[in-house]
Structures are given as structure tokens and as C-alpha cells.
């Protein structure tokens, strides 16, 4: 059992009080005693002098009487000198005692304060570490019982936090594992549904118009399911830090043109135009071609789905501040201000009225953001002047942290 601060303070106060009171009592007693002795001696001296004066008046041995009177006067002078020096000594003694006692008390209390400072400093440091996310932070338990109890409580709290963080990590892993397995298991039946629907479409000349329409609905929905599965898988991988990218030096213009080629037919179905404004001689970027194309296709798909027929979607690429900026600009309905800050969140989609018609999964932008950030870039949205939405992605040029680093970083998190 550690000594308690309260006990030590009580004992310290008691000792200091006793020492100081004792000194004061001894000092006062000594002073009174000396005073009493002085008065007794002085009184005796006066008595002898009076007796001598009486003898002188009676004329008995006048010479001896005179000598006694002088001697007693001298004697009293000596007594007066003595008492004053004794009083000074007592005062000095008591003063020295008081100083010694106070010094002792001061030393005692500063010792107590010092013995608390160390554990408290440890506690402050460990709290800082814990708050900063270092769940291994603990304090050494020792010293006074109060700080030891506090330290013990702190360590228990840290232990609990670490245990919960561990449980949460395990739950996250189980969830990721579940998503990966579910996505895997769902693919086989989906392959059959989509495959047989495609088989029917190969013989569409034998189908009635109503049947063709039915098969198209099946196909649309199975493709939508596949997109959802792919997106969920990407998100699960991203959460697990396993969304890896393979970067190679890439010409931005070629990437944009590929994405445009992929999207043109789809845009054509609604009479929408795609205009590319690519600055000549853009520097190369270190990019995973498939993944950046996925992001561009996602942005173009959004523009296609949210814009009215006949609209023009513009893609503008420029070189600015050691980054290639690619803007996907539309003049559609735009993004309401209150939704702007949430659009990169999962399952966040535009105006609910539109989503009936729009076929996205609500995951595209969240995945795009993860992918662009893996490239060391940024993606933002802002209103297009005059109406519509502009998505801007910035990919750094030149040397960027290589893929091993970004992957290791993701795994560590």
C-alpha cells in the first residue's frame, strides 16, 4: 500500500505544529523563569541595601553599611546586564528554533510536491499520447496512493480503449471479409441471370415486343447489380487498405480520349454532345490507367444521367501548379448547395426525384475520391457559372510517392 498524500500532509502538519508550539512554550517558560529569578535577586539586593541604610541611620558600623549599599547597587547593575543578555539569548534561541521548524516544514512540503509532480507529469504526457491515438500509452504506477490510484484508473481506461479498438478492428475485418465473400458468391448466380438474358436477346427476332422489353429489364437490372457489386468490392477494399493501384507514366490526353470513346455511344442516346478541350503538351502523370479511366467514366456517366437531352458536356484539361487538372463541366441542374459537401459520401445521390431515372449506385463518387487520393491527387465539385456542376480532379505531375509507399501506408492504417 502506497503512503497517502492526505496522511503525509496530516503527519507533516502535526509535526510542524508540535515543534513550533514546543519551541514557543519552552521560550516563553524560560523567559518567565529568567524574569522571576531576576526579580527575586533584585528584591533581595534592595532588602540588603535597606538593611544597610537602617544600620547607617542607627550609626552601627557606618563604613561597612556604606560599602554594602554600594556593593548592592553594583550587584543590581550586574543582574540587569545579565537579564538583558539572557532575554536576548532566549529570543535568539526561539527565533532560531522557529526558522529551523519553518525550514523543516518547507522542505517537507516541497518534498511532497516533488513526489506528486513526477507522476502527474507522466499522466499529462500519457494522456496526450492517448489523445493522439497511441493506445499503447500507460503510466508507471507508484508514489503516493492518490497518484497511484489515478495512474491505475488511467491505465485501466487506456486498456479498455485499446480493447475496444481491437474489437472494432476485428469487426471491420469481418465486415470486409463478408463483403468480399458475398460479392464473390453473388457473382455466379448473377452470371447465369445475365448470361441467359443475353442468350434470349440473341434470338430476339423470335420474341414478342413485350418479351424483348422484359428481357431488357432483366439485363438492365443485372448490369446494375454487377455495378453495385463492383463498387461495394472497391469500397470494402478501400476500407481494408487493399485498394491497390498500379501506376505507370501516362499521357493524360490519351486517357481522356479513351474515356470519351467509352462514353460517346451512351451520350448519343440522349443527343448529348461531348467536347474535349485538352491543352497541348500536357505533362505525363503517374497513373493507374484503368482506375483513372474508371473515375472519368464515372464523372461523364453522372453528367450524362443528370443532364437534359441535347446538353453539352465539356472536359477541359490544363497544366497548373505541378498538377494536371481535368474538369468535367456540365450545364445540368447542378448540385444544391446543402448537398455539395456530402456528394463524395457513400450512397449520397442527387435530387431524389431524379434518382428514379438515374441508374447509378451512389458509390461512384466515394470510390472516385478514394482512387484519386491513392494517386496523391484531389477531387472537388463546384457549381458551373451559369448553372450545372463542375468536377475537378487534380493529378500531381512528376515524382509522387511510389505505389509501394501508398500501399504500405494503407495497410498500416
Partner 1 sequence: MARILVADDSETILLLVRTRLEMEGHEVETAADGQEVLDALRRDPGNPPDILLLDAMMPRKSGMDALRELRAEGVVVPALIVSAHTDGDGDSGADAELGIDGYITKPIDFERLFRRIAELT
Q: What is the DSSP-derived secondary structure letter of residue 205?
A: G
* The C-alpha cell that represents 122 in the structure block: 507522466
| Shortest distance (Å) from residue 305 CB to partner 1 | 22
Q: How far is CA 272 from the centre of its chain?
A: 49
- Beta carbon nearer to partner 1, 115 or 230: 230
Contacts of partner 1 in 226-255 (CB under 8 A): 226, 230, 233
**Pairing status of strand 378-383 against strand 285-287:** unpaired
- CA distance between the termini of the chain: 41
| List 198, 213, 268, 402, residue binding partner 1 (CB under 8 A) | 198
| Shortest distance (Å) from residue 198 CB to partner 1 | 7
Contact range with partner 1 by CB under 8 A, out of 15-23, 132-140, 158-166, 177-185? 177-185
| Shortest distance (Å) from residue 204 CB to partner 1 | 14
- Beta carbon nearer to partner 1, 222 or 272: 222
| Shortest distance (Å) from residue 377 CB to partner 1 | 22
**Pairing status of strand 323-329 against strand 389-396:** antiparallel
Q: How far is it, in rounded angstroms, from Cα 288 to Cα 304? A: 24
Burial of 150 (0-12, 13-18, 19+ CB in 10 A): middle
| List 34, 42, 115, 194, residue binding partner 1 (CB under 8 A) | 194
Contact range with partner 1 by CB under 8 A, out of 82-90, 191-199, 329-337, 402-410? 191-199
Contacts of partner 1 in 205-224 (CB under 8 A): 222
* 8 A C-beta contact, residue 250 and residue 290: no
| List 80, 88, 117, 184, residue binding partner 1 (CB under 8 A) | 184
Please tell me whether residue 188 binds partner 1 under the rule CB under 8 A: yes
* 8 A C-beta contact, residue 139 and residue 170: no
Cα→Cα distances 249→143, 326, 398, Å: 61, 17, 9
| List 2, 33, 54, 192, residue binding partner 1 (CB under 8 A) | 192
Strand stretches in 138-247, DSSP E: none
Residue 268: Cβ within 10 Å count: 12
- Beta carbon nearer to partner 1, 294 or 406: 294
- Beta carbon nearer to partner 1, 136 or 205: 205
Residue 143: Cβ within 10 Å count: 19
Q: How far is CA 263 from the centre of its chain?
A: 44
| Shortest distance (Å) from residue 229 CB to partner 1 | 8
Q: How far is it, in rounded angstroms, from Cα 247 to Cα 287? A: 4
Please tell me whether residue 187 binds partner 1 under the rule CB under 8 A: yes
Contacts of partner 1 in 280-309 (CB under 8 A): 290
| Shortest distance (Å) from residue 238 CB to partner 1 | 13
**Which residues would be at the binding site for partner 1 (CB under 8 A)?**
183-185, 187-192, 194-196, 198-199, 202, 222, 226, 230, 233, 290
Amino acid at each position: 500500500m502506497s503512503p497517502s498524500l492526505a496522511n503525509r500532509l496530516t503527519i507533516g502538519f502535526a509535526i510542524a505544529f508540535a515543534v513550533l508550539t514546543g519551541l514557543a512554550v519552552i521560550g516563553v517558560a524560560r523567559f518567565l523563569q529568567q524574569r522571576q529569578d531576576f526579580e527575586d535577586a533584585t528584591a533581595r539586593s534592595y532588602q540588603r541595601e535597606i538593611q544597610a541604610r537602617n544600620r547607617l541611620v542607627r550609626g552601627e558600623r557606618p563604613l561597612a553599611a556604606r560599602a554594602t549599599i554600594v556593593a548592592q547597587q553594583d550587584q543590581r547593575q550586574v543582574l540587569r546586564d545579565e537579564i538583558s543578555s539572557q532575554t536576548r539569548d532566549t529570543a535568539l534561541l526561539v527565533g532560531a528554533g522557529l526558522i529551523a521548524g519553518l525550514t523543516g516544514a518547507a522542505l517537507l512540503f516541497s518534498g511532497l510536491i516533488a513526489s506528486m509532480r513526477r507522476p502527474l507529469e507522466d499522466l499529462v504526457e500519457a494522456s496526450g499520447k492517448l489523445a493522439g491515438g497511441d493506445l499503447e500509452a500507460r503510466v508507471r504506477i507508484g508514489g503516493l496512493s492518490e497518484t497511484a490510484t489515478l495512474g491505475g484508473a488511467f491505465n485501466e481506461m487506456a486498456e479498455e480503449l485499446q480493447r475496444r479498438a481491437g474489437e472494432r478492428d476485428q469487426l471491420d475485418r469481418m465486415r470486409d471479409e463478408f463483403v468480399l465473400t458475398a460479392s464473390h458468391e453473388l457473382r455466379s448466380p448473377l452470371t447465369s441471370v445475365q448470361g441467359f438474358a443475353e442468350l434470349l436477346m440473341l434470338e430476339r427476332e423470335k420474341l414478342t415486343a413485350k418479351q424483348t422489353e422484359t428481357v431488357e429489364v432483366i439485363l438492365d437490372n443485372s448490369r446494375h447489380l454487377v455495378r453495385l457489386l463492383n463498387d461495394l468490392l472497391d469500397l470494402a477494399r478501400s476500407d481494408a487498405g487493399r485498394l491497390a493501384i498500379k501506376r505507370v507514366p501516362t499521357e493524360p490526353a490519351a486517357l481522356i480520349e479513351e474515356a470519351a470513346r467509352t462514353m460517346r455511344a451512351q451520350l448519343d442516346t440522349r443527343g448529348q454532345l461531348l467536347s474535349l478541350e485538352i491543352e497541348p503538351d500536357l505533362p505525363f502523370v503517374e497513373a493507374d490507367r484503368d482506375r483513372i479511366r474508371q473515375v472519368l467514366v464515372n464523372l461523364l456517366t453522372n453528367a450524362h444521367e443528370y443532364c437534359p437531352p441535347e446538353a453539352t458536356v465539356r472536359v477541359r484539361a490544363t497544366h497548373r501548379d505541378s498538377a494536371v487538372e481535368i474538369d468535367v463541366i456540365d450545364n445540368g441542374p447542378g448540385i444544391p448547395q446543402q448537398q455539395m459537401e456530402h456528394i463524395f459520401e457513400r450512397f449520397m445521390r442527387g435530387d431524389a426525384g431524379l434518382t428514379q431515372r438515374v441508374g447509378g449506385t451512389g458509390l461512384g463518387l466515394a470510390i472516385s475520391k478514394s482512387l484519386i487520393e491513392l494517386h496523391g491527387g484531389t477531387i472537388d465539385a463546384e457549381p458551373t457559372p451559369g448553372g450545372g456542376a463542375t468536377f475537378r480532379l487534380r493529378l500531381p505531375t512528376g515524382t509522387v510517392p511510389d505505389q509501394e509507399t501508398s500501399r504500405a501506408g494503407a495497410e498500416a492504417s
